Structure 1
Amino acid sequence: MKIRIELDDGLDDVEVVIKTARLTDQVDQLQQLLSKMNQPSLVFYKDASEYFVKLEDILFFETDGAKIFAHSRTDAYEVKLKLYELEEVLPITFCRISKSSIANVKSVYSLDKSFSGTSRIRFADTHKVVHVSRHYYQLLKERLQELR
């Protein structure tokens, strides 16, 4: 692994670019480590309680009205961040799959493509499914290939 630091007086903030031939566990860990330095901590809410759930246990995030919910295999928790804010702080294992959803690509069990253009993701050991829009289908397929 090569590490290079370039000083640029024109920049207001730090910019980190990772160049790699393919996504590996090492690259994923590096991205997660860098993200944690700048990320608001994710707190999950259910009723009057706060939960501290591991990100790898989250299958997907989706909007329901004005609220954002994080779904695990057995539960759903409210999150106070917007989807676009989640996209910025989630590790590369999470991928936007529709205007209203972000999925954990490592948790995908199957991807069912339909003729109508909307596909469906199934997750292992749960009844939960989430839909993938035509617009994000190819991005999801590429991410699945990179991470598998």
Structure 2
Amino acid sequence: MKVNIDIDDKHEETTLTIQAKEWTEELEEIVKVVKKRRQQRLFGVELDQTILLDPNEVDFVYAEKRKIFATLKDRTIEIKMKLYEVEEILVPHDFTRFSKSVIGNVNRIERFELSFNGNLCVYFHSGNKEYITRKYVAAIKEKLMKGGQAYDR
């Protein structure tokens, strides 16, 4: 991908032009990020207290029994939002779908293990683990190869 930026006093407003051969998921993500006027915050609730969550510390977010939870290194915090709303906030922070009910932070992944059924077991630096269903495996591999991060220790 090639990026051109032209900064000049003659421009009255900021205009973004994307030239591409075809529409891709990558372009869709770029448009989502650009359309966000200001970064929304992610809040969790723990012991009747509202907590501001740092997306860089969240391993994954999941839905269970009609509630949404964020998993950090050593704790799980409830989020009072819908999973798709959380996903919109976290996409610019390199989160992606792992399954119908899980969104994971690709920057926190340490390693993968292939399961017998075609799913991937993902291990995070924190020691937490989660599964990526077959439907999402190819997209995550592509994202990691195109610039998402996965670290090996």
TM, length-normalised to structure 1: 0.73
Residue correspondences, number: 128
Partner in structure 1 of residue 37 of structure 2: 37
Partner in structure 1 of residue 134 of structure 2: 134
Cα offset, 1:37, TM superposition: 2.7
Partner in structure 1 of residue 100 of structure 2: 99
> How many percent identity over aligned positions?
29
Corresponding letter in the other structure for 1:52: L
Partner in structure 2 of residue 74 of structure 1: 74
Q: Is the 8 A contact 1:57 1:73 kept in 2?
A: yes
Distance, in Å, in 2 between the alignment partners of 1:100 and 1:17 is 34
Corresponding letter in the other structure for 1:49: Q
Distance, in Å, in 2 between the alignment partners of 1:80 and 1:37 is 22
Distance, in Å, in 2 between the alignment partners of 1:48 and 1:35 is 33
Q: Look up the SS of the partner of 2:97 in the other structure.
A: strand
Corresponding letter in the other structure for 1:62: Y
Distance, in Å, in 2 between the alignment partners of 1:138 and 1:84 is 21
Cα offset, 1:85, TM superposition: 1.5
Distance, in Å, in 2 between the alignment partners of 1:17 and 1:136 is 30
Q: Is the 8 A contact 2:57 2:73 kept in 1?
A: yes
Q: Is the 8 A contact 2:45 2:78 kept in 1?
A: yes
CA-atom RMSD, angstroms?
A: 2.9
Q: Look up the SS of the partner of 1:43 in the other structure.
A: strand
Q: Look up the SS of the partner of 1:62 in the other structure.
A: strand
Query: Which is higher, the Rg of structure 1 or of structure 2?
Result: 2
1:1-148 matched pairs, under 5 angstroms? 1-3=3-5, 34=34, 37-90=37-90, 91-126=92-127, 128-146=128-146, 147-148=148-149
Structure 1 gaps of 5+ residues are: 5-15, 21-29
Structure 2 gaps of 5+ residues are: 7-15, 21-29
Distance, in Å, in 2 between the alignment partners of 1:73 and 1:113 is 23
Deviations 1:52-74 (A, max 9, x none): 12110000001111100001111
Corresponding letter in the other structure for 2:89: V
Label 1:51 to 1:18 Cα distance change in 2 as closer, same or farther (>3 A): farther
